[in-house]
Amino acid sequence: MKNNYLKLEFLSLPENQAFARDAVAAFCLPLNPTLSQLSDVKTAVSEAVTNCTVHAYREAPGIVTVECTTDGNCLHITIGDKGAGIADVEAAVQPFFTTLPSDERSGMGFTIMQTFMDEFSVRSEKGAGTLVSMSKHFDPEVENA
Is 105 an annotated catalytic residue?
yes
What is the residue type of 37?
Q
- Out of 51, 73, 90, 104, the active site residue is 51
C-beta of residue 19 within 8 angstroms of C-beta of residue 66:
no
Is 51 an annotated catalytic residue?
yes
Burial of 128 (0-12, 13-18, 19+ CB in 10 A): exposed
Please report the sign of the dihedral spanned by the C-alpha atoms of residue 37, residue 42, residue 48, residue 50: negative
- Out of 105, 123, 143, 144, the active site residue is 105
- Out of 4, 47, 141, 144, the active site residue is 47
C-beta of residue 16 within 8 angstroms of C-beta of residue 47:
no
Is 21 an annotated catalytic residue?
no
Known catalytic residues? 47, 51, 105
